[in-house]
Amino acid sequence: MNLDKTTDINIIVNKKRYSITIDNRTTLLMLLREKLDLTGAKRGCDRGECGSCTVLLGSKSVNSCQVLACSIDGKEILTLEGISEKGELSFLQKSFVRNDGTQCGYCAPGFIMSAYSLLQTNYSPSEEQIKDSISGNLCRCNSYHTILEAIKLASKQSSDE
């Protein structure tokens, strides 16, 4: 791949199609935040360690700072903005609010997207499975306990529906 060149890509982000020309050095995180104005995914470490930039690429959660946008032509992406339901917070987002899931909140989008990915395939995860799903996400405010409780609450609600 020539990093000095540009590439035309077609992607679907939050169910909306985009045809866009990007510099080959552009990461998915840069594309989302700087070109598409979707700022839910946060830039923390920018080197795949903190998980604050987590989004879904297809059905998998990924660190968007580690994905080159030129490599995702034809793919579907889901960001924090895309999981709202009819303009309202999703049950997962609400459970973070109700449960005081975070303090400063910077890590929350990444935790929520990792948990969302888990709950897509496992409506009733065990505590270990939840911990495993968020093992790539860091919280500098040490809100791990309330984050875990928020995800448990959300999983209980989704399995009751």
Q: Which of 9, 53, 56, 153 binds ligand FES (CB under 6 A)?
A: 53
Q: Which of 6, 24, 103, 157 binds ligand FES (CB under 6 A)?
A: 103
Smallest gap from residue 89 Cβ to ligand FES (A): 17
The site for ligand FES, by CB under 6 A, has a size of 22
**Residue 7 binds to ligand FES (criterion: CB under 6 A):** no
Smallest gap from residue 62 Cβ to ligand FES (A): 9
Cα–Cα distances (Å) from 28 to 38, 53, 135, in that order, read 11, 9, 21
Write out 40-103 in H/E/C secondary structure: CCCCCCCCCCCCCCEEEECCEEEEHHHCEHHHCCCCEEECHHHHCECCECCHHHHHHHHCCCCC
Residues that bind ligand FES (CB under 6 A): 43-46, 48-53, 63, 65, 102-107, 139-141, 143
